[in-house]
């Protein structure tokens, strides 16, 4: 730390003797006058009891300062102890306390004082190239560890002759006198060096450039002094104890007290050209002035912000007091209590007694709390939630079955099972006069309309609609709410739902219930049990409200892609309705009646401007949109109409006033897709909009309307190349290849199972399986191999094919993981086809798991697999006998044109798959 030598320091340093400068008041330099004016100094204020106090200056003969008498004189010190300075160089006229840890150096300094030669050399330490550390602790550690030549290499050559003012313990106070340069080392411990005394280069005091530079330094110093009282104290102390400012002293003073780094300060110390030294100091002080300005700006901004907030607070408090005195407005607590009472008074009879009691207790508590306390805000929010819930308020339901049938048919094509179940629910409600809450789970592939069905049910029943998704939900508090003791506590989704819809009997759609997460915050699936269980939800307890809520009138509709992912206790409380997907005919109807009209209206295209042929629509479905749902079909149709819109605009077919409405029929169309959204929202059901007259053709169109034809040949120009190709790869099916039927979360699909001979030889019979099969299918392959050998032994005892053949069974699409218990009979048929060298019947597909005894076990996904078979132009299907009932429940249009056989033993499959005359080869 670099400090000015103060009067207290002078009194402690017994070797510094004050001196009287006769006639000092008669001479005043321009620099001193300028600085005296800045700091308010005058000759009288700088005297101490009629005496001026000085200590050693750069030039002993200078009349502007006195030399502290010592023996020997400073200029006689040609050999000095070298003391390292870590942070900033010591400038002449300033003092610096340092700490000396080396006992030898400390003893040498004390000996110098006893010998009346109290001088040492203070030299700045160079940076250590071997370390990046610049902390004070590391610097001090480095100084204490350096000795002898190592220390000499780390010292700057130019330093300051320093008088040892005092030694107290390991603290040594040094007072800077004049500049030195190291010439050579005398001894290592302690480090003693020979030095040359440096003098400033001669300069002309009347030089205009030096004068201008010095007065610019003073001008800059003036700006800094306006904002920094510390600098003002430095100037006063310096002029009191050093004497008048000269050009060299002014440069040293500015460099010493500004915030320059150690290297910049050392550069000023080493500069002997007074003019250059002044310029360097001026640069440093300019930077200091800019820093002061920034500091002042920051302080002013913060002060204005704080004072503005305080002023606003005081004015608000005064305004409240004035309004209260005039009776214009009561205080916050009274106003809040009145607001809460106004909410509950109209429905006070409907609110349960235990809830009313809690509300009254919280209102009393609110009056006793200070408005500024945190507990006040917690209580206010709690009352806000308690009073805003629709206690006992139910919407009037519509139990008109005919109207409900019309709404469901209007919104959705097909889905007869789902519609029938909803109509049953409405019929029961009409007979009873009231409806009870139920839990319906709609399961099926994406895009089949699960979410939009929930919206249609709400419209048919005249119930409010609320949807929230639990996909990936891992926090129980999202369902059960947070405890009120937590910061930012909120009720659960169900309480938020009741607040949003304003009725106690909404239809709540819980989306993606098969994708529930599980994290450190508990198990949400278990928390949903209380919400969905009809025996428990009449007294549902939210952690935030801490009072029971009756949810027995709420109709819950859940959606899932795969019900196997739903925990069994949760699934047990639901009524599952499966939506398998749509066959091609159904997709054509949906595209014509719903998707195409919606897309055309959204794109602002009139019906007479475009025509999509049946062949193009059929090709779009079979070659681009083969999945079970219709979401991708909607995207492709929208893509077609967007390109048509661009084409029409480019051709100039644009009316002056763009159409903003569509015809009445299109206005009543609601999006029929399961458009998955992650935002909670409430739908207010309202009657269909009134029909509008078709807008007349304007006369200002730039060009006559030309109808755009979309047919199968030009379909690729709008939607690109076909994505899918025929699943039926083989025509006819070769030996060893059999088509199976599979179920996936995206719907049904067909897959081939292929078997070939790798190697033949006595005793080499074995089976290798590939196709990324799961454990279940690998076991099915082993069972199929065993059963096939058993059947072969019965049918052709002399055939040793399986005993002497190394076989390879493969299921194509190896990049797709496959697993499930329904491929056993297909694998057996493939093995037998290869063994007998007979292909299976043409256009045949089968599914079913086989036991070691040859019994056929039932499978799932009958509708999905049937749809997949139709899509692949399969004519004959083999199902397990136990699945006959599932097939009989399918719609007639799904079963149309199929020859279905139900078997309970593999021997029947053998007879169906291998015909003796091989007519399928014709």
Position 333 pLDDT exceeds 60: yes
Let me know if residue 791 belongs to a domain. yes
- The whole-angstrom separation of Cα 552 and Cα 531 is 10
* Domain identity same for 750 and 624: no
Q: Cα torsion at 394, 396, 402, 405 (round to 10°)?
A: -40
Percent with pLDDT over 70 in the chain? 80
Of 69, 63, 75, 74, the closest CA to residue 244 belongs to 63
Residues 564, 600: one domain? no
In 502-581, the DSSP E strands lie at 507-511, 540-541, 548-549, 555-560, 575-578
- Predicted confidence (pLDDT) per residue in 250-293, tens digit: 878 878 777 777 788 888 888 888 888 888 888 888 887 888 78
Per DSSP bridges, beta strands 766-770 and 805-810 are parallel
Q: What is the DSSP letter of 352?
A: -
Q: Specify whether the CB–CB gap between 848 and 861 falls below 8 A.
A: no
Specify if 563 maps to a domain. Answer: yes
| Residue at which a domain ends, from 598, 619, 651 | 651
What phi, psi does 318 have (nearest 5°)? -65, -40
- Rounded to an integer, the average pLDDT of 39-52 is 38
Residues 189-210 as b/e (b if ≥16 CB within 10 A, e otherwise) read ebbbbebebbebeeeeeeeeeb
Tokens of 744: 């996936």
Identify whether the C-beta of residue 512 lies closer than 8 Å to the C-beta of residue 471.
yes
Residue 686 vs residue 240, higher pLDDT: 240
Which residue has tokens 């002042």?
296
Q: Is the pLDDT of residue 42 over 70?
A: no
pLDDT in tens, 453-462: 889 888 888 8
Q: Per-residue confidence at 47, pLDDT binned at 50, 70, 90?
A: very low
Would you say residue 380 has pLDDT above 70? yes
Pick from 604, 667, 592: nearest CA to 633: 592
CATH of the domain at 93: 2.30.130.40
DSSP 8-class letter at 592: I
Higher pLDDT, 448 or 74: 448
Contact 846, 741 (CB under 8 A): yes
In whole angstroms, give the CA distance from residue 330 to residue 347: 25
Q: Of 909 and 28, which is predicted with more confidence?
A: 909
Instruction: Mark whether 421 and 537 lie in a shared domain.
Output: yes
**Distance of alpha carbon 688 from alpha carbon 28, whole angstroms:** 99
- Among 50-54, 100-104, 232-236, 729-733, the least confident range: 50-54
796 pLDDT exceeds 90?
no
Provide the pLDDT for residue 623. Answer: 83
Q: How many residues does the chain have?
A: 922
Average pLDDT, the chain: 78
- Does any domain span residue 691? no
Using a 10 angstrom Cβ sphere, with 0-12 exposed, 13-18 middle and 19 or more buried, the burial of residue 530 is middle
- Are the C-beta atoms of residues 125 and 85 closer than 8 Å to each other? yes
Residue 485 contacts residue 477 (beta carbons within 8 Å):
no
676 versus 915: which is more confidently predicted? 915
Q: 849 and 859 in contact (C-beta within 8 Å)? A: yes
Do residues 458 and 562 both lie within one domain?
yes
List 612's β-bridge partners, or say none. 710
What is the C-alpha separation between 544 and 521, in angstroms, rounded? 16
The CA radius of gyration of the chain, in Å to the nearest whole number, is 48
Which letter does DSSP use for residue 476 in this model? T
- Residue 313, classed as helix, strand or coil, is helix
Q: Helix (H, G, I), strand (E, B), or coil: what is residue 748? A: strand
Q: What is the mean pLDDT of residues 171-185?
A: 86
DSSP 593: I
Q: Spell out the residues 6+ positions from residue 778 whose beta carbon is closer than 8 angstroms to its own.
A: 769
pLDDT reported for residue 19: 31
- What is the distance between the alpha carbons of residues 73 and 652, in angstroms, rounded to a whole number? 102
Q: Sign of the C-alpha dihedral, residues 68, 72, 76, 82?
A: negative
480 is an active site residue? no
- Tell me, what's the pLDDT at 765? 83
Nearest partner of 298 among 365, 227, 369, judged by Cα = 227
Active site residue 104: no
- Provide the pLDDT for residue 655: 58
Yes or no: say if 218 and 35 are a contact pair by the CB < 8 Å rule. yes
Q: Would 241 be classed as within a structural domain?
A: no
| Tens-place pLDDT, residues 508-535 | 999 988 888 776 767 888 888 888 888 8
* Per-residue model confidence (pLDDT) at position 189: 80
pLDDT of residue 794: 87
Question: By the 8 A CB rule, do 164 and 109 touch?
Answer: yes
The answer, yes or no, to whether residue 136 has pLDDT greater than 90, is no
652: number of CA atoms within 13 Å, CB side? 5
Q: Alpha-carbon distance 447 to 621, whole Å? A: 14
Overall number of domains in the chain: 5
Q: Which of 166, 822, 830, 833 is catalytic?
A: 822
Q: Is the pLDDT of residue 773 over 70?
A: yes
Whether this prediction's pTM lies above 0.85 is answered by no
Q: Quick check: is 9 in a domain?
A: no
Domain carrying residue 628: 590-651
pLDDT in tens, 604-621: 888 888 888 888 888 888
The pLDDT value recorded for residue 518 is 75
Question: Per the domain annotation, does 286 fall within a domain?
Answer: no
Specify whether 515 is located in the same domain as 640. no
Catalytic residue among 419, 587, 606, 865: 865
Structure tokens at 198: 């440096």
One domain, residues 437 and 564:
yes
Any domain includes 524: yes
**Which parts are annotated binding residues for ATP?**
444-451
Alpha-carbon distance of 633 to 618, in angstroms, equals 11
Of the candidates 809, 847, 843, 806, which has an alpha carbon nearest to the alpha carbon of residue 825?
847
Which residue ranges make up the annotated binding site? 444-451
Per-residue pLDDT, averaged over 789-811, amounts to: 88
Residue 748 lies in a domain: yes
Q: Do β-strands 465-469 and 681-683 pair in parallel, antiparallel, or remain unpaired? A: antiparallel
More confident residue, 423 or 689: 423
Q: Indicate whether 597 and 554 sit together in one domain.
A: no
Per DSSP, which regions of 618-736 are E strands? 681-683, 708-710
Per-residue pLDDT for 58 more than 90?
Answer: no
Alpha-carbon distance of 659 to 587, in angstroms, equals: 29
What CA–CA distance (Å, rounded) separates 79 from 661? 102
Mean pLDDT of 362-389: 86
Euclidean distance between CA atoms 789 and 783, whole angstroms: 10
For residues 751 and 888, state if they share a domain: yes
Can you give the CATH number for the domain in which 874 is found?
3.30.230.10
- Work out the pLDDT band at 916, boundaries 50, 70, 90: low
Same domain, 774 and 910: yes
Bridge partners (DSSP) listed for residue 749: 742
Residue ending a domain, among 624, 651, 678, is 651
Give residue 18's pLDDT.
32
Last-in-domain residue among 551, 578, 605? 578
Q: In the numeric block, which tokens belong to residue 158? A: 């130019």
Scanning the structure block, which residue is given the tokens 């239809």? Answer: 507
pLDDT of 156 > 70? The answer is: yes
Asked if residue 59 has pLDDT above 50, the reply is no
563 and 601 fall within a common domain: no
Does 910 lie in the same domain as 869?
yes
Note whether 753 and 891 are same-domain residues: yes
**d(C-alpha 80, C-alpha 850), whole Å:** 105
């Amino acid at each position: 730390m670099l400090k000015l030598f103060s009067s207290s320091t002078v009194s402690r340093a017994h070797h510094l003797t004050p001196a009287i400068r006769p006639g000092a008041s008669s001479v005043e330099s321009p620099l001193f006058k300028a600085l005296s004016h800045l700091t308010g100094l005058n000759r009288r204020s700088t005297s101490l009891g009629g005496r001026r106090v000085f200590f050693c200056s750069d030039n002993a003969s200078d009349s502007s300062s006195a030399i502290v008498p010592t023996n020997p004189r400073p200029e006689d010190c040609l050999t000095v102890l070298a003391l390292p300075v870590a942070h900033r160089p010591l400038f002449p006229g300033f003092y610096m306390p340092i700490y000396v840890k080396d006992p030898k150096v400390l003893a040498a300094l004390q000996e110098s004082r006893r010998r009346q030669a109290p001088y040492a050399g203070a030299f700045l330490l160079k940076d250590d190239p071997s370390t990046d550390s610049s902390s004070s602790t590391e610097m001090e550690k480095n100084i204490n560890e350096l000795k002898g030549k190592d220390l000499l290499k780390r010292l700057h050559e130019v330093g300051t002759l320093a008088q040892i003012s005092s030694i107290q313990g390991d603290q040594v106070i040094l007072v800077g006198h004049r500049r030195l340069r190291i010439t050579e080392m005398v001894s290592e411990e302690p480090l003693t060096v020979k030095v040359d005394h440096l003098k400033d280069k001669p300069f002309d005091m009347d030089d205009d450039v030096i004068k201008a530079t010095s007065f610019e330094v003073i001008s800059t110093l003036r700006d800094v002094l306006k904002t920094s009282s510390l600098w003002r104290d430095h100037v006063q102390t310096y002029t009191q104890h050093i004497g008048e400012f000269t050009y060299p002293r002014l440069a040293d003073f500015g460099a010493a007290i500004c915030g320059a780094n150690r290297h910049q300060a050392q550069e000023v110390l080493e500069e002997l050209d007074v003019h250059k030294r002044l310029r360097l100091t001026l640069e440093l002080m300019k930077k200091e002035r800019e820093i002061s300005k920034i500091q002042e700006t920051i302080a002013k901004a913060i002060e204005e912000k704080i004072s503005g907030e305080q002023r606003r607070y005081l004015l608000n408090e005064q305004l409240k007091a004035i309004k209260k005195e005039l009776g214009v407005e009561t205080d916050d607590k009274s106003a809040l209590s009145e607001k809460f009472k106004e909410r509950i008074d109209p429905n006070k009879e409907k609110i349960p007694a235990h809830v009313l009691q809690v509300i009254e207790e919280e209102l009393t508590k609110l009056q006793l709390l200070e408005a500024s306390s945190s507990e006040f805000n917690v209580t206010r929010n709690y009352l806000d939630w308690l009073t805003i819930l629709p206690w006992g308020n139910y919407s009037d339901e519509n139990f008109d079955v005919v109207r409900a049938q019309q709404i469901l048919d209007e919104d959705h094509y097909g889905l007869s099972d789902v519609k029938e179940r909803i109509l049953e629910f409405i019929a029961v409600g009409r007979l009873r006069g009231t409806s009870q809450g139920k839990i319906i789970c709609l399961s099926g592939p994406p895009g089949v309309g699960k979410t939009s069905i929930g919206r249609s049910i709400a419209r048919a029943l005249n119930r409010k609609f609320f949807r929230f998704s639990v996909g990936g939900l891992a926090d129980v508090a999202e369902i059960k709410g947070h405890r009120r003791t937590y910061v930012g506590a909120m009720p659960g989704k169900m309480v938020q739902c009741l607040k949003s819809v304003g009725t106690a009997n909404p239809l709540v759609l819980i989306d993606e219930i098969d994708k529930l997460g599980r994290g450190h915050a508990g198990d949400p699936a278990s928390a949903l049990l209380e919400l969905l269980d009809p025996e428990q939800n009449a007294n549902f307890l939210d952690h935030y409200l801490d009072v029971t809520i009756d949810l027995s009138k709420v109709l819950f509709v859940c959606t899932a892609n795969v019900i196997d992912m739903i925990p069994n206790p949760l699934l047990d409380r639901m009524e599952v309705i499966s939506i398998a997907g749509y066959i091609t005919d159904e997709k054509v109807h949906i595209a014509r009646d719903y998707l195409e009209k919606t897309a055309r209206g959204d794109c602002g295209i009139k019906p007479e401007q475009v025509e999509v042929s049946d062949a193009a629509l059929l090709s779009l479905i079979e070659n681009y949109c083969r999945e079970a749902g219709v979401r991708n079909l909607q995207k492709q149709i929208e893509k077609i109409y967007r390109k048509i819109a661009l084409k029409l605009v480019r051709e100039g077919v644009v009316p002056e006033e763009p159409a903003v409405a569509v015809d009445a029929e299109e206005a009543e169309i609601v999006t029929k897709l399961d458009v998955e959204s992650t935002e909670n929202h409430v739908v207010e059901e309202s009657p269909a909009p009134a029909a509008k007259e078709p807008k007349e053709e304007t006369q200002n169109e730039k060009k006559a309307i030309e109808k755009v034809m979309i047919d199968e040949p030009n379909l690729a120009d709008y939607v690109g190349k076909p994505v899918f190709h025929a699943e039926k790869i083989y025509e006819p099916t070769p030996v060893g290849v059999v088509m199976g039927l599979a179920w996936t979360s995206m719907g049904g699909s067909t897959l081939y199972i292929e078997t070939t001979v790798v190697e033949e030889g006595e005793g080499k019979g074995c089976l290798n399986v590939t196709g990324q099969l799961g454990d279940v299918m690998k076991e099915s392959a082993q069972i199929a191999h065993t059963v096939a050998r058993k059947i072969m032994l019965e049918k052709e005892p002399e055939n040793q094919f399986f005993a002497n053949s190394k076989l390879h069974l493969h299921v194509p699409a190896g990049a797709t993981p496959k697993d499930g218990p329904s491929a056993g009979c297909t694998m057996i048929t493939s093995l037998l086809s290869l063994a007998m060298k007979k292909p299976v019947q043409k256009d045949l597909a089968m599914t079913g798991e086989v036991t070691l005894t040859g019994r056929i076990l039932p499978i799932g996904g009958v509708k999905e697999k049937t749809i997949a078979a139709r899509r692949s132009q399969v004519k004959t299907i083999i199902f397990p006998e136990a699945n006959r009932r599932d097939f009989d429940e399918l719609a007639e249009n799904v079963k149309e044109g199929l020859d279905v056989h139900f078997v309970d033993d593999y021997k029947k499959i053998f007879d169906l798959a291998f015909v003796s005359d091989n007519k399928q080869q014709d």
